[in-house]
């Protein structure tokens, strides 16, 4: 495959990962907590898609919205169990609690769907599109389009609307947000819901070409973490950019050498970034005035 072809494949993967990382960074911004079950929500989205299409005959156009809603509810549930009871504790505690919830989810997948990897439904039908000597699968195209639309929507909401401002204010100072009339706890639950939902959509989009398995979410949680660190902790643009970079890097190195080397090189690169620019590419750390 040519270099450009590889980049194209990486873009589709990156688009999906960008959703995962974006959901991850929302939760980080809103609560300061790292959601280590993010990858498991991706699997949840894939499994939900598989379940819905195999049990009911759902028109494809309804599938993504349904997955979004179901995983949204799961996210709210996670907030209720793993976050709110531990709100006032050090952030490391929530890291652990989300880890544990992820573990419980994985076990549920195992019981419900068995240990074998499964493939999910194709959203725009299977088959490839060809132009200018490059080809891209319909699914990949669908992924890029959906992801771009969601990212754009998210940006607009956060920057231009009252609810977006309220979400940002809640993320910066929850108590003060309540003191200006914002129902902070509800918004935090919504944030978890959105974060999980984005991951779920990504999972449904990826399920066709990449398999869904009970423990398949773990490396994805790590990827989201890495993407957000590379892009700059707390930066939404950074999360998107970081994901794209990681995916393209992975796809290219995997093609030329091997997946193992790609992963190893990725981590080595991350460590190098820490040495050189620890705050990531877009550091959105709010500086304190002198």
Partner 1 sequence: MSPRDQNKTLLSIDHISASYGRVVALRDVSLTVFEGEAVALIGANGAGKSTLFKTIIGFLQPLGGELSFRGRAVAALPPEKRVQLGIGYAPEGRRVFPGLSVRENLEVASLGRRAQREELLGQVFEMFPQLAERQAARGWQLSGGQQQMLAIGRALMSAPKLLLLDEPSLGLAPKLVEEVLGRIPSIVARGTSVLLAEQNVTKALRYCNRAYVLEVGKVVLSGAAAELRSAEAVRRAYLGG
Partner 2 sequence: MKYSPVTRAGGVLAKGIRLPVAFGALALAAYGVFFADPYDLRILTVCGVFALLVIGFQFIFGHAGAVSLAQATFFGLGAYVTGVLGATYDFGFLLTFPLSCLIPALLALIIAVPVLKLEEHYFALATLGIGLVVVLVAVQWQEITGGTNGLPGVPSVRFFDLEIRDRRELFIFVWLLVVLGAFVAYQVTRGLYGRVFYLVRESHAAASCLGIDVSALRFGAFILSAIYGGAAGALMAHVIRVVSPENLELPVMVTCLTMTVIGGRRRIAGAIVGAILITYLRESFRILENTTLMAYGAVTLVVLIAAPYGLIGAIERLRARFLPEPIEAPPPMQPLNLAVDTEHRDHRPLLDIDNVSKSFGGVRALEGVSLKLGRGEVVGLIGPNGSGKTTLVNIISGLYEPDRGQLSFNDTAITRRPPHVISRLGVARTFQHINLADELTALDNIALGRTTRERASLWRSILTLGLDPRLQRARCTAVGAAELLGIADLAMSPCGALPYGTRRRVEVARALATEPELLLLDEPAAGLNEEEQRDLAQRVRRIADHGVTVLVIEHNLVFLRSLAERLICLDHGQVIASGHPEEVQRNSAVIEAYLGREEAADEILAIEERAS
Interaction partner, residue 89 (partner 1, partner 2, none; CB < 5-8 Å by kind): partner 2
Q: Residue 274 Cβ, how far from partner 2 at the closest point, in Å?
A: 6
Stretch near partner 1 under the rule CB under 8 A, chosen from 32-40, 50-58, 133-141, 181-189: 181-189
Q: Residue 181 Cβ, how far from partner 1 at the closest point, in Å?
A: 4
For the segment 225-284, give every residue that binds partner 1 (CB under 8 A). 284
Q: Considering only residues 7, 53, 69, 93, which one is a binding residue for partner 2 as defined by CB under 8 A?
A: 93
**Residue 80 interacts with partner 1 (CB under 8 A): yes or no:** no
**Residue 256 interacts with partner 2 (CB under 8 A): yes or no:** no
Q: Residue 267 Cβ, how far from partner 2 at the closest point, in Å?
A: 4
CA atoms within 13 A on the CB side of 136: 21
Interaction partner, residue 169 (partner 1, partner 2, none; CB < 5-8 Å by kind): partner 1
Stretch near partner 1 under the rule CB under 8 A, chosen from 60-68, 123-131, 144-152, 168-176: 168-176
- The residue (of 30 and 246) whose beta carbon lies closer to partner 1 is 30
Interaction partner, residue 132 (partner 1, partner 2, none; CB < 5-8 Å by kind): none
**Residue 281 interacts with partner 2 (CB under 8 A): yes or no:** no
Interaction partner, residue 34 (partner 2, partner 1, none; CB < 5-8 Å by kind): partner 2
Interaction partner, residue 264 (partner 1, partner 2, none; CB < 5-8 Å by kind): partner 2
Please provide the DSSP assignment of 9-55 as one string. HHHHHHHHHHHHHHHHHHHHHHHS---TTHHHHHHHHHHHHHHHHHH
Report CA torsion sign: 139, 144, 145, 146. Answer: positive
Q: Considering only residues 99, 165, 263, 265, which one is a binding residue for partner 1 as defined by CB under 8 A?
A: 165
For residue 131, the cross-strand partners are 134
Stretch near partner 1 under the rule CB under 8 A, chosen from 107-115, 162-170, 215-223, 263-271: 162-170
**Which positions lie near partner 2, rule CB under 8 A?**
34, 81-82, 85-86, 88-89, 91-93, 95-97, 99-101, 103-104, 106-108, 110-111, 218, 222, 225-226, 229, 233, 260, 263-264, 267-268, 270-271, 274-275, 278, 287, 289-290
């Amino acid at each position: 495959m040519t270099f450009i072809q590889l980049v194209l494949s990486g873009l589709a993967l990156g688009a999906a990962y960008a959703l995962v990382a974006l959901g991850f960074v929302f939760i980080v911004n809103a609560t300061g907590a790292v959601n280590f079950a993010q990858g498991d929500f991706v699997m949840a989205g894939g499994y939900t898609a598989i379940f819905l299409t195999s049990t009911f005959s759902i028109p494809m156009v309804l599938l993504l919205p349904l997955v979004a809603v179901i995983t949204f509810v799961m996210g709210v549930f996670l907030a209720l169990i793993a976050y709110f009871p531990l709100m006032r504790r050090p952030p490391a505690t929530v890291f652990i609690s989300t880890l544990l919830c992820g573990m419980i989810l994985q076990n549920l997948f195992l019981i419900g769907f068995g240990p074998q990897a499964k493939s999910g439904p194709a959203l725009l039908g299977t088959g490839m599109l060809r132009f200018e000597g490059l080809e891209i699968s319909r699914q990949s195209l669908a992924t890029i389009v959906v992801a771009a639309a969601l990212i754009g929507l998210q940006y607009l909401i956060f920057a231009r609307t009252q609810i977006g401002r309220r979400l940002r204010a809640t993320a910066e100072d929850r108590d003060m947000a309540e003191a200006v009339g914002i129902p902070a706890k509800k918004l935090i639950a919504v944030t978890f819901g959105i974060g999980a939902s984005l991951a779920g959509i990504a999972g449904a989009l990826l399920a066709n070409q990449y398999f869904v398995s009970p423990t398949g979410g773990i490396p994805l949680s790590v990827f989201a973490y890495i993407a957000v660190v590379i892009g700059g902790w707390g930066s939404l643009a950074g999360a998107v950019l970081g994901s794209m970079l990681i995916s393209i890097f992975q796809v290219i190195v995997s093609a030329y050498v091997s997946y193992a080397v790609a992963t190893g090189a990725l981590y080595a690169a991350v460590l190098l970034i820490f040495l050189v620019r620890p705050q990531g590419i877009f550091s959105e750390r709010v500086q304190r005035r002198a």
